[in-house]
Structure 1
Amino acid sequence: MGKIRIAVRKFGPFESTLQKLWDLFCLKNNLSIEAEMIPLELHDLYEETITNKGLKNGSWDIAHMNTDWIFDAVNEKAVQDLTPFIAQNTPQNYPDGWHQSLLNLQQINNGTYGLPFHDGPECLIFRKDLFENKVEQQAFKKQFGYELYPPKTWEEFTKIAEFFNRPEENLYGCVFANYPDGHNMVFDFCLQLWTRGGSLLNAQNQIDINQSAAIEALDYYRNIVNNKNAVHPKSKDFGSVEAGMAFAKGEAALAINWFGFASMCEVIEESKVKGKVDITELPHDKNHKTASLNVYWLYTIGTGSKHQKLAYDFLRFATTPEGDKLLTEEGGIGCRKSTWNDSEINETIPFYHKLGMLHEHALTLPQTPVWPKVAELIDKMVLKALESDIPSGELLEETQNTIQKII
């Protein structure tokens, strides 16, 4: 029968979970087939599965796919519609076992192109031990004239980041993921835009970032990221994983990152902040509401796979309540409501039940085949903003003109 090949998003908890799940799956079904799991960085994963047609030509049977790419993958006929499999053999408690916001993006043209694997919207992660410290509270009140609490506005975010910035203690106010990989800075820009009442789409439903809220968003972001009195000096080289690790090692008081990196602080060995972390909603402009971003990971099956039935049986097994909980215990984020409300999980990760709250404000990126190209342009624009003093308005106009040509 050969072996089954799985393209895995490179991240320790994903790799260990998948190996454990495969071993349990084989044991349960008395199978001796080997699974070759290749961990890949974001860019390589996209390249291998979609650009180089790996899912279409049978090089990969199963792949982790994030929802930014699923529209693309379906357009390229790379991923299998799971509807017939689901009809024949429904996953446990499907679809009610999941929050609606984890079922929408893989529904394309009446097909279902993946099962939820890992999630955790963007949130504000903070060191609750610092915020609860009486000495810190007094010092902050003395300096600013109001109580210390997690920032509700971006203005407060800057002040608190500067207040906790103590390079001599290897503690920085906040940490960002500014490595230009077409993802993190794009997400940060979107969050800045949304929390100022802006939108990526205009009234005609076309991507349009040339707007006043976007100027405010880019202005604030370039200022905070370049603020040496507030930000971890390695942020420029960090992807979201590295930024998450820096926070887990106790090197920052605040972080805007995926929920998964908060929970990771409670479960990984390297963490120096177990029991000292909490999460809350993102800060916002004082005249607007908070927002979050929901990009999640799916299990998908390649259209070219010769082992589609076996692959689907494994996906069904991996997404059971037990499989979902195992992912969480390893340091990933389970997608099922049962995991979010699990008493054992909430004992280890006391803020786990807050996932439901984050999903209430979670927005998604536009589903259009050109989004990956648009994201690349936004990424370049934000990088240019960080590295130059070209006015934000000019950068936005220039980027929008290029986007126009793609559309």
Structure 2
Amino acid sequence: MAKLRFAVRKFDPFEQSMLKFWHQYKQLYAVDVDIEFVPLDLEELYDTLFVKRGLDNGDWDLVHINTDWIAQAFEQGGLHVLNEDLNRNPPEEYSEAWSSSLLGFQNFEGQIVGLPFHDGPECLVIRKDLFESKKEQQQFFNIYKRELAVPKTWEDFLLVADFFTRPADNLYGTVFAGYPDGHNAVFDFCIQLWSRGGELLNSEGNVNLNQVIAAEALDFYRDLFRGKRCLHPSSAVYESVQAGQAFARGEVAMMVNWFGFASWAQIDETSAVRGQVDIAPIPANENVAAPSLNVYWLYAIAEGSNHKALAYDFIRFAVAKEQDKALSLEGGVGCRYSTWYDTNINAHIPFYNKLAALHETARTLPRLANWPDIAHIIDKTVSQAITTDDASSTLLAEAQEKINKIH
């Protein structure tokens, strides 16, 4: 009997959804096949796909892969090109299913190597029950002589975060995912850079860290983690999933994180803030547009798979309208237009229809085969800012030298 192996991004809603989709698929098509879903966190997933060459050595048939890694995977020839499959038997409503912002990274001069699985750009996630509380509003006014409002600048963000920080109640103003995995701190640094009017790339398209605004961005992050005045105490060891879980437990008033963690906290039965979540633009300096970041996950087929036809058939089923909607109700984020505007989805998650607007303004990271290496350099720089007294400008200059050597 054939058996598929699927490397899954570790997150309960993803794991639960994949199991349900497979059971539905087997019942619908009477397929006599087993599948092994293996949940892996980011570092484990990268290790098995790239360090251990799991994309081409036969270890995996199906994988979840994010856009940070897609160029490296394509350059190494690790992903099966889907064009023939798509032409022969395309997914439901293939030509108009997804926003163009979810189709670019996996398209290499016409060669398609993945289909959208999960997305939800970064945004400010807030607890409505706190911000709309008359008691909280009055107390805030008594202290600061101004109205309590969702912050639009980083200065206001810190003020509101300080106000909601009450360690005795296990409540903190905010949480950041500071675990050094080459992702979260990098995303946060880019958000801080863009929200101050800076750019990650120069006019030649090269990464440029050696700039004053980048130092200001790093200083903000450093001060936040070292001051710890309003920060959840586990921020330094949390990655994004754990930060989202802290918010869902009711330990955080607001956070800059992925849209998916907002929708999950809004509907999950175990969430302490269920039904009390909303999203807003990420804070920015005055006269700077609120930034967002679009990094998305894809279904892909490993080039080393001996079951490519079966693997594609399952992916085609998994990206259909019904399954995309079900993923959203499970706590993931569906990628189809039909899901974003679905009446039932928006009844449960009233802010779901804001996804299209987020996508219109969300930035992307460079699609470079060596981006994982660059990201780890930036990640280490952020960690050094938190743990050393070296000037941010010095750390960034050193990082730039390292990046220049690998370009």
- TM-score, with structure 1 as normaliser: 0.98
Q: Distance in 2 between matches of 1:257 and 1:46?
A: 21
Q: Distance in 2 between matches of 1:139 and 1:309?
A: 62
What is the number of equivalent residue pairs in this alignment?
407
What does 1:197-236 correspond to in 2, within 5 Å?
197-236=197-236
The Cα shift of 1:146 comes to 2.3
The Cα shift of 1:90 comes to 1.2
The Cα shift of 1:391 comes to 1.1
* Contact persistence 1:6–1:61 (CA under 8 A): yes
Q: Distance in 2 between matches of 1:226 and 1:132?
A: 30
* Contact persistence 2:268–2:331 (CA under 8 A): yes
1:264 partner amino acid:
W
Query: What corresponds to 1:125 in structure 2?
Result: 125
What does 1:6-405 correspond to in 2, within 5 Å?
6-405=6-405
The Cα shift of 1:97 comes to 1.1
Instruction: Report SS of the residue matched to 1:270.
Output: coil
120-129 or 43-52, which moves further after superposition?
43-52
Q: Distance in 1 between matches of 2:281 and 2:226?
A: 23
What fraction of aligned residue pairs are identical, expressed as a percent?
51
- TM-score, with structure 2 as normaliser: 0.98
Q: Distance in 2 between matches of 1:240 and 1:308?
A: 32
2:191 partner amino acid:
L
The Cα shift of 1:89 comes to 1.0
1:202 partner amino acid:
N
Once the two structures are superposed, residues 18-63 of structure 1 have per-residue CA deviations (whole angstroms, 9 ceiling, x without a partner) of 0110111111111120011111111111111222121212221110
Once the two structures are superposed, residues 244-297 of structure 1 have per-residue CA deviations (whole angstroms, 9 ceiling, x without a partner) of 000000001011110010011122232100111110110001131111010000
53-62 or 12-21, which moves further after superposition?
53-62
Q: Distance in 1 between matches of 2:7 and 2:228?
A: 39
322-331 or 185-194, which moves further after superposition?
322-331
Q: Distance in 1 between matches of 2:254 and 2:212?
A: 27
The Cα shift of 1:227 comes to 2.8
Q: Distance in 2 between matches of 1:227 and 1:344?
A: 43
219-228 or 99-108, which moves further after superposition?
219-228
Gaps of 5+ in 2: none
1:255 partner amino acid:
M
* Contact persistence 2:267–2:275 (CA under 8 A): no
Q: Distance in 1 between matches of 2:324 and 2:274?
A: 22
Gaps of 5+ in 1: none
The Cα shift of 1:95 comes to 3.0
Q: Distance in 2 between matches of 1:279 and 1:302?
A: 36
Q: Distance in 2 between matches of 1:133 and 1:166?
A: 16
Q: Distance in 1 between matches of 2:388 and 2:101?
A: 38
* Contact persistence 1:50–1:76 (CA under 8 A): no
Q: Distance in 2 between matches of 1:247 and 1:259?
A: 13
Instruction: Report SS of the residue matched to 1:226.
Output: helix
Q: Distance in 2 between matches of 1:79 and 1:50?
A: 11
Once the two structures are superposed, residues 296-341 of structure 1 have per-residue CA deviations (whole angstroms, 9 ceiling, x without a partner) of 0000001121111111111110000101011111111111111111
Report the RMSD for the aligned CA atoms in angstroms. Answer: 1.0
Q: Stretches of 4+ moved more than 3 A in 1?
A: none
* Contact persistence 1:196–1:289 (CA under 8 A): no
The Cα shift of 1:344 comes to 1.1
Q: Distance in 2 between matches of 1:253 and 1:239?
A: 18
Instruction: Report SS of the residue matched to 1:124.
Output: strand
2:14 partner amino acid:
F
